[in-house]
Amino acid sequence: MITSLKLAIVGHANFGKTSLLRALSHNSHFGDVSDKPGTTRHVESIKLSLANNTDITFYDTPGFEDSLALYDYITQILPANTKLDGIDKLTTFLQSPEAENLFNQEAKVIRQVLNCDAAIYVIDVREPVLPKYHDELAILANSDKPILAVLNFTSTKE
């Protein structure tokens, strides 16, 4: 039986990931919430104890920013004529130079998802399904982890 579950909260910048964790943990001081993108720059965790000696740790992560460029970059650095599974593709990315530079925020997200049991993908329902979100999901699917969708901004039509 799983007694300790690790969940990464992931998704595009400014979609309410940190706000979701504040709500789930009943802690209005958790992390930084702002309407500016890029507020969460590092992975931050919060552990909740459940019944029967079980617990769940949520990991808040920075948002994906330029997912189209990231998808293209990962595709381009993969060795030609070699079949890699999804996790090897992500590991190749994490060991590449841009994981420390241009895509260092996204690298933090991917590293965390690989270290978790599952990911929660936060969606802003006010946005159409843009190609960059397809690319984000395609990248995350390489992790072989279950991905649960959470629809945010469901009660507003701003």
Determine, following the binding rule CB under 6 A, whether residue 19 of this chain makes contact with ligand GDP: yes
**Least distance from ligand GDP to the Cβ atom of residue 51, Å:** 28
User: What is the distance in angstroms between the CA of the first residue and the CA of the last residue of the chain?
Assistant: 44
CA–CA distance from 101 to each of 30, 61, 104 (Å)?
A: 27, 17, 5
| Shorter beta-carbon distance to ligand GDP: residue 80 or 158 | 158
- Selected from 10, 18, 103, 136, the binder of Mg ion by CB under 5 A is 18
**Least distance from ligand GDP to the Cβ atom of residue 154, Å:** 7
Q: What residue 156 binds from Mg ion, ligand GDP, none (CB within 5 to 8 A, per partner kind)?
A: ligand GDP
- Selected from 33, 56, 118, 150, the binder of ligand GDP by CB under 6 A is 33
CB-closest chain residue to Mg ion: 40
Contact between 90 and 143 (Cβ < 8 Å): yes
Footprint of ligand GDP (CB under 6 A)? 13-19, 33-35, 39-40, 63, 152-153, 156
